[in-house]
Amino acid sequence: MGTRCEGLRDSLSPIAYYEEYSHFRLDCLKIDDNKELSMSANEDLAKERARCDFNVSEITNILDGGIERTKQRKKIESIALSNGKCCDVTPEETLGPKERYENAIRKSCLYTKIVKDQVLTLTGLEVLGSNSSVLRRTADAFFKDISPFLLHLGMFVPTIMGQGTPEQQSYWLPRALDFQIIGTYAQTELGHGTFIRGLETTATYDPDTEEFVIHSPRLTSYKWWAGGLGKTSNYCIVVAQLYTQGKCYGIHPFIVQIRDEDTHMPLPGVRVGEIGPRMGFNTADNGFLGFDHYRIPRNHMLMKNSQVLKDGTYVKVASHSKLTYGTMVFVRVMLVNEVAFNLAKAATIAVRYSAVRRQSEKISGEPEPQIIDYVTQQHKLFVCIATAHALQLSSNWLWKTFSAVLADMRGGNTENLPELHALSSCLKALSTSDSAALIEQCRLACGGHGYMLSSNLPLLYSFVTATRTYEGDYTVLLLQTARFLIKAWEQAESGNPVTPTVSYMEEAVVGNKYKWNGSAEGIIKAAYYVAAGKISSSVTSIRKRMKNGKAFEDAWELTGVQLVAAAEAHCRAVICDVYRKETVRLTANSSPNVKTVMDQLNMLYLSHWALERTGDLLRYTSTTEDDIISCQQRYEELLAAIRPNAVGLVDAFDFPDEILQSTLGAYDGRVYERLMEEALKSPLNAEPVNRSFHQYLKPLMQGKL
């Protein structure tokens, strides 16, 4: 897969091991004699590229955000990839947990050096913000799983930037950005992840020494989960309940040193370790952390939003009580981009593989078709390409919204924060949930070979399915959006103005039923009407329950299923709307064929969701069965229209093989050769007979056990 890296051979013991068994594989399996193993590219894939009718790089530029950004991305990628030391000779998933972690640290250091020496000097800090997707793409050439440094750049640095005073930033940021210290974000505890007001770690101010005493009063207060915490980080952001002058002021962020900067030993009063094997993230040393009356200086509390003065007086600086949650909002915004990128990778792998793979007979006796020619396969895959586009464009739009609200807040205006919170919550929830489900769909679309770790689909899934939970669980975040929607509905009902993303309510509260029209704009409007219908039903249920004597909180709780569905419908309508508008805007000056194929993908996405939500359309709009039949027909026509361009569309994601890291998805389509090459690297192939034969099998077979 990708280029092999000779330079690393002597740095790891497993590599010597591999070299040992690589002699064995040639002797024993004689793959050199196998005429089938060819070095030339797959012909079917070459034919697919020849039939693609649009300019692939035009779409690449659109997805990157313009030709200049494509150029910059490629430059950064080539800096990292030409380093020639990015990949492993031994697949990382065949290493034991310790070796795997050590290997991840080795690669993280290598990658960090490249970022520090070459990328940051080229791009400045922008690469950590709006342009951080470039870093994420490039990092994937180094890590099949996750870098233990992810939280350092993903949350430690952003928290200092977002929650620190200018003085604190100027002290901590240069050290953090230079990797003199490595940090993480320890908020979640054994006992609480969602309900952060219930966190139990305490930070009690002692005015005599001008220190905070950080303490974990019980097992459930131990920090749990933070990435890079177990073994890598020597500092971390600890979110704890702040006590001063005998009063609790709720959760606040503190910078806490946990390991000696020289020996890396845990400091006295700190208990830290790794939490053990998990479904994914196995190279990220997610950790636990407890404190025994551990003291830190007063100015290690991040004091941009609130302060504790030397004498212990608490001063609230921020104009909004939830600004301490700012890092979470930032990361939720980033995650939409993150999962769009991972879904694009899965779609690339599955579409290329489906063009190479031939199976079954459509007509008895005729050559086996490429599996991509089955309409059911197109149904599984083309929505993945379309969703990757939808999420990529929605993420760019969300980033712009986030930046605008941030700019307002710098001027003291927090008016648009609730809308940003509602939007980032539901977009994070839906994008992570859709992407995880569709990556799994890509894996299933690749049959048995999709189950191989070397396809990279299982790892992509295990990584992305975690995004549905972390940084706010799916249900919990949709319920946050629902709070905003219900309030907006009540505002619209009483004739007061509402914010732009819920302006559809103004028309819907009047009680009109929407008449179906199958155009893009018509489907989007129908989606908004479905959302309005569900919000209205939720409001009715809550009111009915309250009328029957329930308190608001109980009525809300009992209506939870409807509220989640309403928030989901709202968010789906927003994605459909943004995807449509951005497609039209971004292809305004494109060549006709690019415009056509982007429009087809967009219509496919809209029709797909209309068909998925037939029941809602029939219930909340005046859509008829005939309308659904014509929508289904249109959807099937779109599958056929997109089919010739499918490989071109995934090529437009422009993933180098080193980043894709997949036996099934490499550009040249040498699927079978790569599967065999990777199989031969299995440690079990290191010797013709495993010692367990002598220890167990032989005695069993000979009745001597």
Ligand X SMILES: Cc1cc2nc3c(=O)[nH]c(=O)nc-3n(C[C@H](O)[C@H](O)[C@H](O)COP(=O)(O)OP(=O)(O)OC[C@H]3O[C@@H](n4cnc5c(N)ncnc54)[C@H](O)[C@@H]3O)c2cc1C
Ligand Y SMILES: CCCCCCCCCCCCCCCCCC(=O)SCCNC(=O)CCNC(=O)[C@H](O)C(C)(C)COP(=O)(O)OP(=O)(O)OC[C@H]1O[C@@H](n2cnc3c(N)ncnc32)[C@H](O)[C@@H]1OP(=O)(O)O
- Which of the listed partners (ligand X, ligand Y, none) does 313 bind, with a CB threshold of 5 to 8 Å by partner kind? none
The strand pairing partners of 253, in sequence order, are: 239
CA-only gyration radius of the chain, Å: 27
Q: Which of residues 331-360 bind ligand Y (CB under 6 A)?
A: 331, 334, 338
- Which of the listed partners (ligand Y, ligand X, none) does 136 bind, with a CB threshold of 5 to 8 Å by partner kind? ligand Y
Q: Is 227 annotated as a binding residue?
A: yes
Q: Is 7 annotated as a binding residue?
A: no
Reading the block at residue 656, the tokens are 């180098």
Is residue 275 a contact point for ligand Y (CB under 6 A)? Answer: no
- As a dihedral over the C-alpha atoms of residue 175, residue 178, residue 182, residue 186, rounded to 10 degrees, the angle is 70
- Which of the listed partners (ligand X, ligand Y, none) does 281 bind, with a CB threshold of 5 to 8 Å by partner kind? ligand X
**CB 587, CB 62: distance < 8 Å:** yes
- As a dihedral over the C-alpha atoms of residue 348, residue 386, residue 77, residue 644, rounded to 10 degrees, the angle is 50
Is residue 195 a contact point for ligand Y (CB under 6 A)? Answer: yes
- Which of the listed partners (ligand Y, ligand X, none) does 147 bind, with a CB threshold of 5 to 8 Å by partner kind? ligand Y
Q: Closest residue (Cβ) to ligand X? A: 193
Tell me the closest approach of the beta carbon of residue 24 to ligand X, in angstroms.
37
Identify the CA nearest to 151 among candidates 333, 271, 285, 338: 285
Q: Which is nearer to ligand Y, 107 or 443 (CB)?
A: 107
- Which of the listed partners (ligand X, ligand Y, none) does 325 bind, with a CB threshold of 5 to 8 Å by partner kind? ligand Y
Is residue 325 a contact point for ligand Y (CB under 6 A)? Answer: yes
Identify the CA nearest to 286 among candidates 273, 295, 298, 299: 273
Is residue 136 a contact point for ligand Y (CB under 6 A)? Answer: yes
3-state secondary structure of 224: strand
Give me the count of residues in the chain: 705
Q: Which is nearer to ligand X, 473 or 490 (CB)?
A: 473
Q: Which is nearer to ligand X, 134 or 151 (CB)?
A: 151
Q: Which is nearer to ligand X, 52 or 555 (CB)?
A: 555
Q: Which is nearer to ligand X, 183 or 522 (CB)?
A: 183
**CB 645, CB 54: distance < 8 Å:** yes
Q: Where are the alpha helices (DSSP H) in 548-670?
A: 552-558, 560-586, 592-612, 614-620, 625-642, 646-651, 657-660
**Which residues, in sequence order, are CB contacts of 444 under 8 Å at separation 6+?**
380, 450
Q: Count CA within 13 A, CB hemisphere, residue 199.
A: 29
Is residue 329 a contact point for ligand Y (CB under 6 A)? Answer: yes
Stretch that binds ligand Y, among 171-179, 193-201, 259-267, 339-347 (CB under 6 A): 193-201
77 is catalytic: no
Stretch that binds ligand Y, among 58-66, 183-191, 564-572, 602-610 (CB under 6 A): 183-191
Side chain identity at 619, as an amino acid letter?
R
* CA distance readout (Å), 25 to 8, 18, 676, 679, 687: 21, 10, 11, 10, 9
Tell me the closest approach of the beta carbon of residue 154 to ligand X, in angstroms.
8
Stretch that binds ligand Y, among 398-406, 467-475, 568-576, 589-597 (CB under 6 A): 467-475
Tell me the closest approach of the beta carbon of residue 102 to ligand Y, in angstroms.
17
Tell me the closest approach of the beta carbon of residue 203 to ligand Y, in angstroms.
18
Reading the block at residue 428, the tokens are 């994070």
The one among 14, 65, 154, 522 contacting ligand Y by CB under 6 A: 154
Is residue 672 a contact point for ligand Y (CB under 6 A)? Answer: no
Compute how many residues bind ligand Y; rule: CB under 6 A: 34
Q: Active site residue: 189, 471, 582, 678, which one?
A: 471
- Which of the listed partners (ligand X, ligand Y, none) does 212 bind, with a CB threshold of 5 to 8 Å by partner kind? none
Question: Given 3-state DSSP classes, what are the helix, strand and coil percentages for the chain, each rounded to the nearest 5?
Answer: 60, 10, 30
**Residue 614: exposure state from Cβ atoms within 10 A (0-12, 13-18, ≥19):** middle
Stretch that binds ligand Y, among 262-270, 301-309, 393-401, 414-422 (CB under 6 A): 414-422
Q: Which is nearer to ligand Y, 284 or 666 (CB)?
A: 284
E-assigned strand segments in 154-301: 183-186, 202-206, 211-215, 223-224, 235-244, 247-257, 270-274, 287-291, 294-297
Is residue 194 a contact point for ligand Y (CB under 6 A)? Answer: yes
Tell me the closest approach of the beta carbon of residue 426 to ligand Y, in angstroms.
12
Tell me the closest approach of the beta carbon of residue 280 to ligand X, in angstroms.
7
Side chain identity at 422, as an amino acid letter?
A
- Which of the listed partners (ligand X, ligand Y, none) does 328 bind, with a CB threshold of 5 to 8 Å by partner kind? ligand Y
Q: Which of residues 480-509 bind ligand Y (CB under 6 A)?
A: 480, 483
Q: Count CA within 13 A, CB hemisphere, residue 328.
A: 21
Q: Which is nearer to ligand X, 473 or 507 (CB)?
A: 473
Q: Which is nearer to ligand Y, 157 or 523 (CB)?
A: 157
Q: Which is nearer to ligand X, 76 or 478 (CB)?
A: 478
The one among 98, 197, 547, 691 contacting ligand Y by CB under 6 A: 197
Identify the CA nearest to 347 among candidates 387, 384, 386, 389: 384
Stretch that binds ligand Y, among 95-103, 417-425, 497-505, 686-694 (CB under 6 A): 417-425
**CB 398, CB 336: distance < 8 Å:** yes
Q: Which of residues 206-235 bind ligand Y (CB under 6 A)?
A: 227
- The rounded distance, in Å, linking the Cα atoms of 453 and 458 is 6
Is residue 249 a contact point for ligand Y (CB under 6 A)? Answer: no
- Which of the listed partners (ligand X, ligand Y, none) does 288 bind, with a CB threshold of 5 to 8 Å by partner kind? none
Tell me the closest approach of the beta carbon of residue 516 to ligand Y, in angstroms.
34
Q: Which is nearer to ligand X, 556 or 605 (CB)?
A: 556
Q: Phi/psi at 121 (nearest 5 deg)? A: -70, -25
**H or E segment at 581?**
helix 560-586
Identify the CA nearest to 424 among candidates 528, 336, 499: 336
**Residue 695: exposure state from Cβ atoms within 10 A (0-12, 13-18, ≥19):** exposed
Residue 49 burial (CB count, 10 A) = 15
Site residues, ligand X (CB under 6 A) = 151, 185-188, 192-194, 225-227, 281, 286, 466, 469-473, 475-476, 479
- The rounded distance, in Å, linking the Cα atoms of 522 and 607 is 11
Tell me the closest approach of the beta carbon of residue 216 to ligand Y, in angstroms.
17
**CB 226, CB 239: distance < 8 Å:** no
Q: Count CA within 13 A, CB hemisphere, residue 594.
A: 19
Residue 516 burial (CB count, 10 A) = 21
Q: Count CA within 13 A, CB hemisphere, residue 190.
A: 11
Tell me the closest approach of the beta carbon of residue 322 to ligand X, in angstroms.
16
- Which of the listed partners (ligand Y, ligand X, none) does 154 bind, with a CB threshold of 5 to 8 Å by partner kind? ligand Y
- Which of the listed partners (ligand X, ligand Y, none) does 475 bind, with a CB threshold of 5 to 8 Å by partner kind? ligand X
Footprint on this chain of ligand Y (rule: CB under 6 A): 132, 135-136, 139, 147, 149-150, 153-155, 185, 187-188, 194-197, 227, 322, 325, 328-329, 331, 334, 338, 417-418, 421, 470-472, 476, 480, 483
Which residues are tagged catalytic?
471
Residues at the binding site for FAD are: 188, 227
Residues at the binding site are: 188, 227
